[in-house]
Chain A
């Protein structure tokens, strides 16, 4: 045990001392947020302060005024209106010069950030549906709100123009469309994008830890083979200790990294007001049931996959050779991300349930399902809890088997240089 501890400390120190570790700690979450979470967050973000809007009305049938009135229903948490129409310019559609001048003026206002966006309501908008939103950045939420309000107004105009004798207001009232508010059981506000992002954050952390540290582990085995340090190592410790030391040492380094990320995440969470980040995601993530299973799956998943990486390292002489073997591992980790959209929409379907119980997929897919279903307690009455526990057991059993198999191949593989062994040879090693 003392030797194992010495091996673990060396592996840990070798990784943590490197500059790349520090860079990875800071850069990876930034990259992750930058690539996946942030664009979606911004796109679905509701306005944080009143957005000023201008309207160019080429139609001259009071669509602008009606719109300005209609969007007053949207309020900020502070009670101030979300949108404010600062100007309605009525322009003769025949006068293209005046239109160009107006557009130029409003464009420069947007550039100076005095204006968020402006609408151009085309001639005969009710018949042609020609309405344009000009904006520097585009928010899905704002877009869909404007779309709904404008559709209602234009529908009203069409009704007016038709010869049907109806009470237009009451028809509009009857046909009115709503903005759906999405809530999880228990009353937490949550929409599809939030669930998707929450799940993706978990899967990304598992994915990056496993792939990142798995490859570090594999390279370190290949390097020890190439430099022949392995010869001295196996004369001092057993090959199993060597493998375990690497897996645990690098595992602790990866946990250090995840811990730092969580601290950064908590920091962002506590300053969420100032940073303007939607609180929804945090409320999804900070669910104790989810956290417990996440930590379990992260650890089991890491051990399962890093053992495979150690095995591959022991069979190969160069990184290049190893790339062929890595492919199936990478695929089995990427597949859950490809299927994430489906699993989030159908977390209880037979396909989702089955996939999430296949040991190599369990760590990522079960977390996706848990994130959507979001159980409030560990009650066994909830099928997802039972399934998650079965998942933990199956994955653990698989991991133990993989460790057993890998240890038998590893002890011979690390002393084989040159030719890459064939599959029948590897099978023979298992039986030695």
Chain B
């Protein structure tokens, strides 16, 4: 996979607060890349530096291996976390205007707008003012303005905040269509579950620093299936004496076991089954949330190597 975007040790300090601290990452072309982290981790500042809205204090942003030229902005579609459009303009006016300042001609914009309005079921509102639309419709309209100029990089900041479930499905489909066309998608969120469903690659950041990045499947493999849930009848106190079990958390209906590295889950299952009647035994994949907590607590920095990217 070819690299599209590369951040090299970018840094931004506001007063005494380090917003982004020597952050480096590599976004493969045509991938969905998630920048994840809690609120205030430096996601929006990173995105603003990518788009040259603010200049980094140090480090550089490279697109296809080069410093981006002045036209780079025209090739980016940005959906900010805080959304809004010109309320007094009509739909067609606002879409045309935002397409034009992205370098589209008026004809190109007009040629594409009907298809989009159709797809988003906003067609009948074409000549209405933005302020007449409901909040959900305005979100869809804003999404159109993000894509109308056919960007090669789409940046979605907290995409799903404020979207209703129907629109989430609609927009998810459109994002996957864009990915199929070869568009690179940068996705920032603090909700790990969303990233888990959509992203090919992720980068976890906390306090402006990268704590973990790489291909999502590689990350999950590295952190392994290190816990198991068991539902069983009878006394469970003997379980903690079994070798390779490092911890037991009891819940009302089941217990969760923390397994040692390289533990043989088959052996463990056998040992328990000898003593009591098991109704369910399930090896759990760690969620991104668990991984984030674990990594953030340990304070270490992980980079899951990806041979395809780091040629």
Contacts and interface: CB of A to CB of B under 8 A. Distances in A.
Interface of A: 2-3, 6-7, 10, 14, 226-229, 231-237, 239, 411-412, 415, 417, 428
B171 to A, nearest CB: 17
A229 B15 contact: no
Interface in B183-212: none
Contacts of A237: 73, 101
Interface of B: 15, 48, 51, 53-54, 73-74, 76, 78, 80, 82-89, 97-98, 100-103, 142, 145
A235 B85 CA distance: 14
B100 A6 contact: yes
A407 to B, nearest CB: 14
Interface core residue of A2, A231, A233, A415 (most chain B CB under 10 Å): A231
A235 B100 contact: no
A229 B84 contact: yes
B26 to A, nearest CB: 22
Given A227-B85, A227-B87, A428-B15, A232 B80 contact: yes
23 contacts: A3-B103, A6-B97, A6-B101, A7-B101, A227-B85, A229-B85, A231-B82, A231-B84, A232-B78, A232-B84, A232-B85, A232-B142, A232-B145, A233-B101, A234-B53, A236-B73, A236-B102, A237-B73, A237-B101, A411-B54, A412-B54, A415-B53, A417-B82
A236 B98 contact: yes
A183 B4 CA distance: 78
Given A232-B145, A235-B73, 8 more contacts: A226-B84, A227-B85, A228-B83, A232-B78, A233-B101, A236-B98, A239-B53, A415-B53
Contacts of A235: 51, 53, 73, 76, 78, 80
Contacts of A227: 84-87
A415 B45 CA distance: 11
Contact of B86 (A7, A229, A417): A229
B102 A231 contact: no
Nearest to B85: A229
B140 to A, nearest CB: 15
Contacts of B145: 232
A216 B23 CA distance: 41
B303 to A, nearest CB: 29
Contacts of B74: 236
Contact of B88 (A14, A226, A234): A14
Residue among A231, A236, A239, A412 with most chain B CB within 10 A: A236
A229 B87 CA distance: 9
Contacts of B82: 228, 231, 417
Nearest to B57: A432
A91 B146 CA distance: 91
Lowest 5 A-B CB distances belong to which pairs?
A: A228-B84, A231-B80, A227-B84, A235-B78, A228-B82
Contact of A10 (B80, B84, B97, B103): B97
Contacts of B88: 14
A266 B293 CA distance: 76
B151 to A, nearest CB: 10
A156 B236 CA distance: 133
Nearest to B47: A235
B84 to A, nearest CB: 4
Contacts of B83: 228, 231
B103 to A, nearest CB: 8
A229 B78 CA distance: 12
A265 B97 CA distance: 37
Nearest to A230: B84
A232 B98 CA distance: 8
B10 to A, nearest CB: 15
A233 B103 CA distance: 13
A232 B97 CA distance: 12
Contact of B101 (A14, A231, A236, A428): A236
B155 to A, nearest CB: 8
A54 B26 CA distance: 99
B194 to A, nearest CB: 21
Residue picked from B54, B84, B97, most chain A C-beta under 10 Å:
B84
Contacts of B15: 428
A329 B60 CA distance: 41
Contacts of A417: 82
B101 A3 contact: yes
Taking each of B15, B48, B100, which has the highest tally of chain A beta carbons within 10 Å of its own beta carbon?
A: B100
